[in-house]
């Protein structure tokens, strides 16, 4: 199972058909069915243990798509808008090489995720460590929903300790 945070209230869960079967996920299951609710509860617990994202006990919407041995689900939190942590920082680099070079001179203790997309490479530094960040090579982006945009449109290559991982390349 692979869990990808798309935004503050949406996650994408990718799993094989075998994993979906293990959780009892069936595209024909009725939402009001008690068995379906139990399946969803087990799945949300697995998402929480896999990624730390906790939607347990929340009202959620689940969209299921099965194709060629893969089961993709989008889980959306309903009626809640989790605010982005103040001070979180998204830094854009023109290339992966520039991102790696910058990581080599940064404090390896900074907690960050690295994402790569068509428009550049990005470092998403968590709110707790953003105030310790200073870099002249990257462009700090601060438009509304920047983090959500990057997470949805770019591929996450490192989570949590991206600076340490990329500095070793």
Res 137 pLDDT > 70: no
Question: Which residues, other chains included, contact 70 with Cβ-Cβ below 8 Å and sequence gap of 6+?
Answer: 14, 15, 16, 17
The full set of domains in the chain, from first to last, is 2-77 (no CATH), 89-167 (3.30.70.1950)
- Mean pLDDT calculated for residue range 127-150: 67
- Mean pLDDT calculated for residue range 130-145: 63
- Mean pLDDT calculated for residue range 22-31: 63
pTM metric for this prediction = 0.49
Res 20 pLDDT > 70: yes
Percent with pLDDT over 90 in the chain: 10
Instruction: Specify which residues 67 forms β-bridges with.
Output: 70
Alpha-carbon gap, residue 154 to 141, rounded angstroms? 15
For residue 94, which of 138, 59, 62, 143 has the smallest C-alpha distance?
Answer: 138
161 DSSP assignment: B
Task: Evaluate whether 128 touches 69 at the Cβ level (below 8 Å).
Answer: no
- Per DSSP, the three-state class of 114 is strand
Per-residue pLDDT reduced to its tens digit, 66-124? 777 788 888 887 754 444 445 568 888 999 999 999 889 888 888 889 999 988 899 88
Q: What mean pLDDT value characterizes the chain? A: 77
Buried b (16+ CB within 10 A) or exposed e, 125-159: beeebbeebebeebeeeeeeebbbbbbbebebbbb
């Amino acid at each position: 199972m692979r869990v990808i945070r798309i935004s503050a209230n949406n996650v994408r869960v990718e799993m094989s058909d075998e994993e979906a079967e293990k959780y009892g996920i069936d595209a024909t299951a009725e939402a009001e069915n008690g068995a379906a609710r139990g399946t969803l509860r087990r799945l949300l617990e697995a998402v929480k243990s896999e990624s730390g994202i906790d939607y347990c006990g929340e009202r959620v919407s689940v969209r299921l798509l099965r194709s060629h041995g893969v089961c993709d689900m989008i889980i959306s939190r309903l009626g809640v808008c989790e605010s982005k942590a103040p001070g979180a920082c998204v830094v854009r680099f023109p290339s992966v090489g520039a991102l790696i070079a910058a990581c080599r001179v940064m404090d390896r203790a900074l907690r960050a995720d690295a994402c790569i997309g068509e428009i550049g490479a990005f470092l998403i530094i968590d709110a707790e460590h953003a105030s310790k960040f200073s870099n002249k090579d990257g462009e700090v982006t601060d438009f509304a929903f920047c983090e959500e945009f990057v997470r949805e449109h770019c591929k996450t290559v490192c989570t949590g300790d991206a600076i340490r991982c990329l500095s070793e390349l």
